[in-house]
Structure 1
Amino acid sequence: MSTSTFVPPNFTKVHIEDCLKRVRTIFGGVFIVDTRKAKLVQVLYHLWEHKFYPQYYFPSSELPSKFLDEKSKQVLSEGPIKYDIVVGVKRAAEAVTVYGDSNGDLAGLFKIGFASMDMWYEEDEQVFVHPKDPYKRVDVLQSSRHIRVEVHGVEVANTHKPRLLFETGLPVRTYIPPTDCKLELLVPSNLHTSCPYKGVANYYHVQTAPDKTAENVVWWYQNPNLECAAINGFLAFYDERVDVWVDGEKQLRPKTHFA
Structure 2
Amino acid sequence: MGLSWQQGPLSAGAIGHFLTPDPLPQRLLFAERLRRRMRVQFNDTWIADSENVILLHEPGRYPVAYFPREDVDPRALVASGKVTQHKDLGDTTWYAVQAGDRTTERAAWELTALPEHAVELQGRIAFAWRAMDAFYEEDDRLLGHAADPYHRIDIRNTSRTLEVRLGDIVVARSEHPVVLYESGFAPRWYVPRSDIDASRLSAVEGQTFCPYKGLCDYYDIGTAHRAAWSYRNAYSEVGRIGDLVSFEPDQVEVYLDGKRLELEPGQKIVPHGVDRGLDVDEIRHH
TM (norm. structure 2) is 0.75
Aligned to 2:81: 73
Amino acid of the structure 1 residue aligned with 2:70? S
Q: Once the 2 structures are TM-superposed, how far is the Cα of residue 233 of structure 1 from its aligned partner? A: 0.9
The answer to whether the 8 Å contact 1:240/1:254 transfers is no
Name the SS of the counterpart of 2:41 in structure 1: strand
Pair 1:16 & 2:16 matched: no
The answer to whether the 8 Å contact 2:247/2:254 transfers is no
- 2:111 is matched with which residue: 99, 110, 116? 99
User: Which ranges of structure 2 fall in alignment gaps of 5 or more residues?
Assistant: 1-8, 11-17, 19-23, 272-286
Q: Distance in 1 between matches of 2:41 and 2:177?
A: 39
Name the SS of the counterpart of 1:16 in structure 2: strand
Which moved further from structure 2: 31-40 or 85-94?
Answer: 85-94
- 1:239 is matched with which residue: 233, 238, 249? 249
The answer to whether the 8 Å contact 1:171/1:254 transfers is yes
Aligned CA distance change for structure 1 residues 60 and 153 (closer, same or farther; 3 Å): farther
Aligned to 1:3: none
Q: Once the 2 structures are TM-superposed, how far is the Cα of residue 90 of structure 1 from its aligned partner? A: 3.8
Amino acid of the structure 2 residue aligned with 1:181? I
Amino acid of the structure 1 residue aligned with 2:126? K
Name the SS of the counterpart of 1:131 in structure 2: coil
Aligned to 1:44: none
- How many residues end up aligned between the 2 structures? 240
TM (norm. structure 1) is 0.82
Q: Once the 2 structures are TM-superposed, how far is the Cα of residue 28 of structure 1 from its aligned partner? A: 1.9
Counting only pairs closer than 5 Å after superposition, residues 1-259 of structure 1 correspond to structure 2 as 13-41=28-56, 48-51=57-60, 53-70=62-79, 72-77=80-85, 78-104=90-116, 105=118, 106-151=121-166, 154-206=169-221, 208=222, 212=223, 214-255=224-265, 256-258=267-269
CA deviations on 1:19-46 (whole Å, 9 max, x unpaired) are: 11111122222222221111112xxxxx
Q: Once the 2 structures are TM-superposed, how far is the Cα of residue 53 of structure 1 from its aligned partner? A: 4.0
Aligned to 2:14: none
The answer to whether the 8 Å contact 1:101/1:108 transfers is no
Q: Distance in 2 between matches of 1:153 and 1:74?
A: 60
Q: Distance in 1 between matches of 2:101 and 2:249?
A: 45
Name the SS of the counterpart of 2:181 in structure 1: strand
RMSD of Structure 2 on Structure 1 (CA): 2.4
The answer to whether the 8 Å contact 2:50/2:71 transfers is yes
Q: Distance in 2 between matches of 1:191 and 1:60?
A: 40
Q: Distance in 1 between matches of 2:255 and 2:61?
A: 28
The answer to whether the 8 Å contact 1:192/1:202 transfers is yes
Q: Once the 2 structures are TM-superposed, how far is the Cα of residue 231 of structure 1 from its aligned partner? A: 0.7
Identical-pair percentage: 28
Q: Distance in 2 between matches of 1:63 and 1:103?
A: 23
Q: Once the 2 structures are TM-superposed, how far is the Cα of residue 52 of structure 1 from its aligned partner? A: 6.5
User: Which ranges of structure 1 fall in alignment gaps of 5 or more residues?
Assistant: 1-7, 42-47
Q: Distance in 2 between matches of 1:196 and 1:167?
A: 13
Name the SS of the counterpart of 1:66 in structure 2: helix
Q: Give the structure with the higher percent strand.
A: 1
The answer to whether the 8 Å contact 2:209/2:216 transfers is yes
Q: Distance in 1 between matches of 2:105 and 2:247?
A: 37
Q: Distance in 2 between matches of 1:183 and 1:90?
A: 49
Name the SS of the counterpart of 2:179 in structure 1: strand
Q: Once the 2 structures are TM-superposed, how far is the Cα of residue 138 of structure 1 from its aligned partner? A: 0.5
Q: Distance in 2 between matches of 1:234 and 1:111?
A: 38
Q: Distance in 1 between matches of 2:202 and 2:257?
A: 28
The answer to whether the 8 Å contact 1:73/1:84 transfers is no
CA deviations on 1:202-238 (whole Å, 9 max, x unpaired) are: 22222x2xxx2x2222221222222201111111112
